């Protein structure tokens, strides 16, 4: 039921973004739209808080992927059952979230050129 409700609500978001893209096709995404509609200061505040909420929602998902595909197999391969059980706990997931956020912060701080290099190496 939650997926259906979310899908219906997301439909309105997608329609809104599609209309914005067709009216103002310019780079800058949310900030460009929000700063034009609301002004520079308020547009910046809303744009940056949007990214905070996005990271807040996605960090646990990526942290769980980091646990399942990296930390747990590594710990079991090295026969570190204590480390493996730690990363299956809530505290372990929180630590994984912090690792993901630290990595993302470093990559974003280094700039787009470095991000492109990292992406080329990873994929």
Over range 85-110, report the average pLDDT.
88
Q: Do residues 57 and 78 share a domain?
A: yes
Q: Determine the structural domain holding residue 91 and report its residue range.
A: 48-123
Q: Per the domain annotation, does 43 fall within a domain?
A: no
Residues 13 and 57 in one domain: no
25 has a pLDDT exceeding 60: no
pLDDT band at 12 (very low <50, low <70, confident <90, very high): confident
Contacts of 92 (CB under 8 A, 6+ apart): 67, 71, 86
Domain tally, the chain: 2
Does one domain contain both 31 and 8?
yes
Q: For residue 37, what are the contacts with CB-CB under 8 A and spacing of at least 6? A: 43
Residue 17 host element (H or E): helix 2-23
Could you read off the pLDDT of 31-88 as tens digits, one per residue? Answer: 676 777 777 777 777 777 777 777 778 888 999 999 999 999 999 999 999 999 999 9
96 and 75 within one domain: yes
Which residue carries 């990526």 as its tokens? 62
């Amino acid at each position: 039921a939650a997926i259906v409700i979310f899908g219906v609500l997301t439909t309105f978001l997608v329609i809104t973004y599609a209309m914005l893209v067709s009216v103002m096709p310019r780079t800058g995404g949310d900030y460009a739209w929000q700063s034009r509609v609301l002004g520079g200061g308020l547009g910046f505040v809303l744009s940056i808080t949007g990214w905070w909420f996005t990271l807040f929602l996605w960090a646990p998902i990526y942290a769980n992927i980091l646990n399942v595909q990296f930390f747990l197999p590594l710990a079991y391969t090295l026969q570190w059952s204590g480390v493996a059980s730690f990363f299956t706990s809530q505290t372990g997931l929180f630590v994984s979230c912090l690792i993901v956020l630290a990595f993302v912060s470093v990559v974003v701080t280094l700039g787009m050129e470095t991000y492109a290099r990292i992406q080329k190496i990873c994929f």
